[in-house]
Amino acid sequence: MHYFADVILPVPLPGLFTYSVPDALLEECMPGKRVIVQFGKKKIYSAIVKRIHQNTPHYETKPVISVLDNVPIVHSLQFQFWDWMADYYMCNLSDIYKAALPAGLKLESETNFVLTKNEISEDLSDTEKMIIAFLKDKNAGNISDLTQFTKSRKTMHFLQKLMKKGIIVVEECVNEAYKPKYESFIELHPDYHSEAALKLLFESLTKAAKQLEILMFYVHQTSFFQQETRLKGLSKKTFVKTTKLSIASLNALIKKGIFLQTENEISRLEQSFQVTAKKPLLTDFQSNALMKIKKSYVDQDVVLLHGVTSSGKTEVYIQLMAQFVSVGKQVLYLLPEIAITTQIINRLRSVFGNMIGVYHSKFSDSERVEIFYNLLQDHSSESKEKYQIILGVRSSIFLPFSNLGLIIVDEEHENTYKQFDPAPRYHARDAAIVLGKIHQAKILLGTATPSFESYMNAQQGKYALVELKQRFGDMELPEIIIADQKTAERKKIMKSLFTPELYLAIDQAFKNKEQVILFQNRRGFSIYLECKTCDHVPQCKNCDVSLSYHKRANQLICHYCGFSSGNTGVCPSCGDHSLITRGFGTEKVEDEIALLFPEARVARMDYDSTRKKHSLQSLISDFENGVIEMLIGTQMVSKGLDFGNVSTVGVMDADSMINFPDFRAWERSFQLIAQVSGRAGRKNKRGRVIIQTSQITHSVIKHVLENDFEGLYKSQIGERIMFHYPPVWRMIMITLKHKKLDMLNDAANFLAKNLRLFLQKSVLGPQEPPVAWIQNWHLKNIIIKLPKNKELSANKQKIAGELMKLKTIEQFRSVLVLVDVDPA
């Protein structure tokens, strides 16, 4: 009987692909392992085996080339989760595979060129000779390396000529992306492990003073005479770094056989974190909330913890985590942004030590692979290096948990839990709830400003609701002052970008040696530049948007595609020099503060200033320690950060959030303003929040002023019901992209017409999005609104069928189609 493997390949095609399993690999090949397979004529990939069977396909199959793993790296519960995600979010399993595994575990072949003969008699050009010299020296080379070496744009042309002459051939090479890290260790030879032998060794080295000193250092550092705490060896690198002892003398001891040198695999991850704090003592309010959460878990799997800012939700999390860890369960603690992990990790490690692993995109591929492998360990073993708690961002839901007991989704309302591009376009909060149910784990959603989706589920009894309405230490909520920007501008009493209320509050805070946070939800210096003479606004050459001005780099930058151009100060339309800035971002706020408060120590927290791996951590540390007096930032500053000396928070431009053209604009505005307001006055005294707006009577401003989330929810949910918007109805957005507008319009109209045959008025569009041309692609959206009923899944299948039908039409095959279920 022949066996076959259905595998998931990282290619943008639906379904599984079947390969034959050679008899020699039958015992090794099993579901969840990576295998090397050939796809097409030449390409080689690592695929994941989904199942093994004996059903002979109706076509000739290629064989599995080799098996990469000793044990499966994807287990049955993960496959169950992948299948749900592919079905719910209308994407391919290949999309899940690419999102779920760290890049270091995904292999793809590389096209290399190699020489076929050493002696070459043909008449060759200089560039061809350079290529041959390179290949002789390196044995092989890819197109990128060869182009860089020859410095010729026609390198491929010369490679083709050499292939026709039979001098070189193409080979596909697969390189393992992840390589374990090794370090040299020195260890005393076993012959000298007895006290008597070691004594004789000391005596034999009396004339070699430096070697004797090294031996004595080794004995002391490894606690050699203490059997229980003796170290097996010492890192040679550490030895050389921490001592002034001679490396030549050390090598002489190795040569004599007194020391053995071994290459040991070491971790790239930070280790040896000591438990320095006890679990926090809870207030009566926190204890009561914890008791209600545990009581709710008897009947329900999901609890929404609605606690005002600074109510001590993290302390409740720690107590709950400790209880699950104490019975051997794993905990996944999800955060919306890397920004928060920098601060929260120190708090958690002080309580849980080495139990905690951190997983996010700022880690290297190899570091993420090591965390992935750590969780693959047998969790019944007694290894102290296993992680029982994972602290991570949205991609952490794909890790190979084997004994998951609790998932905490902190700041559950955040839209950064939503993956936008590429597919799968999942929402980590919703996916985490399904993951928890698959593992029979409990889920805790925590926030001061719940998403309407979660709050409605709690109101309907699908989730339990636990509330924390009192701040820790009986601290008052901050005083909120509404600053009328429109009136201040009319009376000409603005100080640059600042109303008198905000300027005086900042000045007072600095005089009191207190810290300030200013929130402006736009990075860069200004929204755009404009010519005073001809009104020309510089536009992106790839997108239908104006270029944002970044003063530090003196660049005009597109925030959609990254295109940039230098600012010459001259209008490209009329040649005039009278360019002025319109609108403002965090850079301009920083500049204006420097003019108004030249002595202030100010820093900026936005995407531009935190790109480097440790820059964010350094920034937060400096602000915590008082090195920085004012932090100016985008949404990053609103996300759960806890600073004890912040007395004043300024919201620079509330209007731009409230007036954003989106049905969630009021909900999001309330969440953002409330969250950033919560950074004020958290420990020592009541804080102040100054909100600059031209719409002082606006409904959102009123609800923020009264800290009235429930009032906002009730007023908005009626509109959502009336107009069939989430969370009352489901929404699916289909985006079509093409570089030719006529082709795009034809495809979008064709698809919308066919969808209306069975969905009728539930289909809206096709229509242009607010930015309808990005990276030279024209865009059209079709929005589908569906009721939450049993027909939802069936309708999704019909929609998927129509999308497949679109792709079968020859003229529309080049149209890209993106499906976003539950768009944020």
Residue-wise pLDDT for 177-226, tens only, equals 667 777 888 888 988 888 888 888 888 888 888 888 888 888 888 887 77
**Do 666 and 595 share a domain, yes or no?**
yes
Residue 271 lies in a domain: no
Count of beta carbons in the 10 Å neighbourhood of residue 515: 24
**Do 735 and 817 share a domain, yes or no?**
yes
Reported as a single tens digit per residue, the pLDDT across 437-448 is: 999 999 999 999
**Do 693 and 763 share a domain, yes or no?**
no
Ranking 8-12, 290-294, 573-577, 799-803 by mean pLDDT, the lowest is: 573-577
- Are 650 and 505 spatial neighbours (Cβ–Cβ below 8 Å)? yes
Could you tell me which residues come within 8 angstroms of residue 25 by beta carbon, excluding any fewer than 6 positions away? 64, 66, 67
Query: Where residue 402 sits, what CATH number does that domain have?
Result: 3.40.50.300
Looking at the 3D structure of the chain, how many domains does it have? 7
The answer to whether residue 175 scores a pLDDT higher than 70 is no
Pairing of strands 66-67, 34-39: antiparallel
Predicted confidence band at 44 (pLDDT cuts at 50, 70, 90)?
Answer: confident
**Do 418 and 564 share a domain, yes or no?**
no
Position 292, amino acid: K
- Are 782 and 752 spatial neighbours (Cβ–Cβ below 8 Å)? yes
Domain end among 672, 691, 718: 718
Two structure tokens written together for 185: 């260790």
**Do 487 and 590 share a domain, yes or no?**
yes
pLDDT of the residue at 73:
94
The answer to whether residue 380 scores a pLDDT higher than 50 is no
Q: Rounded to 5 degrees, what are φ and ψ at 778? A: -80, 145
Residue 538 lies in a domain: yes
Reported as a single tens digit per residue, the pLDDT across 393-441 is: 999 999 999 999 999 999 999 999 999 989 999 999 999 999 999 999 9
**Do 598 and 514 share a domain, yes or no?**
yes
**Do 400 and 350 share a domain, yes or no?**
yes
Residue 472 lies in a domain: no
Q: Write down how long the chain is.
A: 824
Percent of the chain with pLDDT over 70: 95
**Do 757 and 810 share a domain, yes or no?**
yes
Domain end among 466, 488, 512: 466
Reported as a single tens digit per residue, the pLDDT across 310-362 is: 888 999 999 999 999 999 999 999 998 876 666 788 888 889 988 888 888 77
Distance spanning both ends of the chain, measured CA to CA: 50
Ranking 264-268, 379-383, 570-574, 733-737 by mean pLDDT, the lowest is: 379-383
Residue 69 lies in a domain: yes
**Do 220 and 250 share a domain, yes or no?**
yes
Residue 436 lies in a domain: yes
- If you average pLDDT over every residue of the chain, what do you get? 88
Ranking 325-329, 358-362, 500-504, 716-720 by mean pLDDT, the lowest is: 358-362
**Do 532 and 511 share a domain, yes or no?**
no
Two structure tokens written together for 243: 């001592």
The boundaries of the domain holding residue 97 are: 3-105
Q: What mean pLDDT comes out for the span 566-594?
A: 87
- Are 666 and 699 spatial neighbours (Cβ–Cβ below 8 Å)? yes
**Do 197 and 57 share a domain, yes or no?**
no
Ranking 75-79, 187-191, 245-249 by mean pLDDT, the lowest is: 245-249
Q: ω into residue 102 within 30 of 0, thus cis?
A: no
Residue 551 lies in a domain: yes
Reported as a single tens digit per residue, the pLDDT across 201-215 is: 888 888 888 888 888
Residue 640 lies in a domain: yes
Strand partners, 548: 557
The answer to whether residue 79 scores a pLDDT higher than 90 is yes
Query: Where residue 151 sits, what CATH number does that domain have?
Result: 1.10.10
The answer to whether residue 379 scores a pLDDT higher than 60 is no
Pairing of strands 564-566, 330-334: unpaired
- Are 142 and 112 spatial neighbours (Cβ–Cβ below 8 Å)? yes
**Do 614 and 706 share a domain, yes or no?**
yes
Ranking 310-314, 374-378, 479-483, 717-721 by mean pLDDT, the lowest is: 374-378
Max avg pLDDT among 292-301, 536-545, 580-589: 292-301
Domain end among 655, 684, 718: 718
Could you tell me which residues come within 8 angstroms of residue 539 by beta carbon, excluding any fewer than 6 positions away? 545, 546, 547
pTM of the model: 0.83
Residue 542 lies in a domain: yes
Query: Where residue 738 sits, what CATH number does that domain have?
Result: 3.30.70.600
